[in-house]
Structure 1
Amino acid sequence: MLRGATFVRHAMPEVDATRPPGEWILSSDGINAAAALQLEALAASAVSSPERKAVQTVALALRLPESAVATAVSFREVDRVESVHDGFRDARRAWIAGRLDERHEGWETPDAAARRFHEGLLAQDARHVVVGTHGMVLTAWLASQGLVADAVAFWEALRFPDVVEIGIPLLRVRAVLTDADGRFVLIKRARPGQEPYWTTPGGGVMLDDASADDALRRELHEELGAEVELGEIVLERQLDSIHSEVFYAARLTSIDPTLADGPEFDDPSRGAYEVEVVTLDELRTLDLRPSELKELLLAQR
């Protein structure tokens, strides 16, 4: 089962206007930079985008012949119709930010790119995999998993080449949060055309979070404007082969909704988020998800 992934953004290629970018090979500086990564100690399985510059980068970093690097189209760069012009980077920034317009006609959407990248990762059966890939599609996937807070800033900071390490399972953290009266602080989710349901507050652990505890405190501040005291883990569950979720007991010490500034509040497509405080009796009547958490809470009271 996959326990870790090392993503390698390819090194600098030799630009060749007579060939499509997928056939570009590394420049001499790119070859040296890829070899300097020295990832051979990982003893990992190797897979890459089919683009030659990505295959070369992984092979050099792992001290392998190119023939030893498997290829998977899931890890290719974003499909797009693009010419290099004065504003091409602005168009890419807008794509990464999810602000698609007429410049992106014929482009793969960020969601579609992230989805097929994710499917490619799910297909890996090694314990650790090194993935040769590209800046835009990698950033889209990391953002879709909640692993980066500012996707544009992350993408702009990526180097040629660059390395991003993640541990697996990817962790989501949530709080079974109670106030001074023992009531549960929940998030009511309402989406057009669907019945409402309730969840506990929390979210994904980002690459720059120091720990799962820090990630949960950050999420509670973003979603609720809350400060809390964290307690023990009350539930752990595996979501799929690369995601798990942990629920912590937590006690509310202060809350100021005016401080809530999570990204979900800026995206109407996600539906409505409402903070509700409910008693145990009220909890019995709600569609609290996941259902096993509701069963656990009712059994303990």
Structure 2
Amino acid sequence: MKQRVRAVLITPKNTMLAMRRIRPGIPDYWVLPGGGVEADDESLEAALLREVWEEIAGRAEITGLLYTVESNGEQQFVYLARIMEWNFDERSGPEFSRDDRGEYWLEEIQLSAEGLDAIDLKPEVIAVELRKALNDGRLAASVSIES
């Protein structure tokens, strides 16, 4: 079964970093940073840290696993993480050099029900789990950032 990792990257401003995908003929949608686990990744967490570096040139601190999504022969592991610094201009992932992939824009999304309602986060099940974590306090407890 193919494995993928994604990160709910919480910033010091209590926002979440998400990739806005712009593709011709398709309404814009957002995805969490992440990607496929490679054979030489030592662990799921190592794959996630590699993907965060490739996609946003950021260093994340993983705080826990939020949710696992299984569908169509694929598992996606969605982690919670803190991130203090990133530089989208320094991204290096292979998807950014392909013209057929459309555009990618990194955006800060307010980490609230209203913020989630304002975007079309894919897959939808991740948005549902994020709303649950906001409502039951799991999200705040996992990623509080000391000032």
TM exceeds 0.5? yes
Name 2:133's counterpart in structure 1: 300
| Alpha carbons 1:187, 1:200 under 8 Å: kept | yes
CA displacement at 1:240 relative to structure 2? 2.1
Which deviations, in whole Å up to 9, do the C-alpha atoms of 1:223-280 show, x marking residues without a partner?
0011010011111011223x21110001102212232111111011011000000112
Name the SS for the 2:105 alignment partner.
Answer: strand
**Cα distance between partner residues in 1 of 2:22 and 2:90:** 22
Which residue in the other structure is 2:77 paired with? Answer: 246
* Bigger Rg, structure 1 or 2: 1
Q: CA deviation at 1:284?
A: 1.2
Going from structure 1 to structure 2, the CA distance change for 1:234 and 1:196 (only over 3 Å counts) comes to: same
The one-letter code of the counterpart of 2:131 is L
Relative CO higher for 1 or 2, CA cutoff 8 Å, sep ≥ 6? 2
What is the CA–CA distance in structure 2 between the aligned matches of 1:290 and 1:298, rounded to whole Å?
Answer: 13
Query: Which structure has greater helix proportion?
Result: 1
Residue identity over aligned pairs, in percent, reads 33
> Are 2:25 and 1:193 equivalent residues in the alignment?
yes
RMSD over aligned Cα atoms:
1.1
Aligned residues: 132
Distance in 2 (alpha carbons) for counterparts of 1:172 and 1:261 = 18
Contact in 2 for aligned 1:221/1:227 (Cα 8 Å): yes
Partner of 1:229: 61
Given candidates 284, 290, 300, the residue that maps to 2:123 is 290
Gaps of 5+ in 1: 1-168
Counting only pairs closer than 5 Å after superposition, residues 168-207 of structure 1 correspond to structure 2 as 169-207=1-39
TM normalised by structure 1 equals 0.43
The CA deviation at 1:282 is: 2.4
Tell me the residue number matched to 1:275: 106
Which letter does structure 1 place at the counterpart of 2:36? G
SS in 1 for 2:85: strand
Q: Distance in 2 between matches of 1:237 and 1:296?
A: 10
Aligned to 1:259: 90
State the secondary structure of the residue aligned to 1:226: coil
| Map of 1:161 onto structure 2 | none
User: Which of the numbers 37, 42, 45 marks the counterpart of 1:210?
Assistant: 42
Q: Which runs of 4+ in 1 moved over 3 A?
A: none
Q: Residue type of the partner of 1:237?
A: V
Q: What TM-score results when the alignment is normalised by the length of structure 2?
A: 0.85
What is the aligned partner in structure 1 of residue 139 from structure 2?
A: none
More strand by share: 2
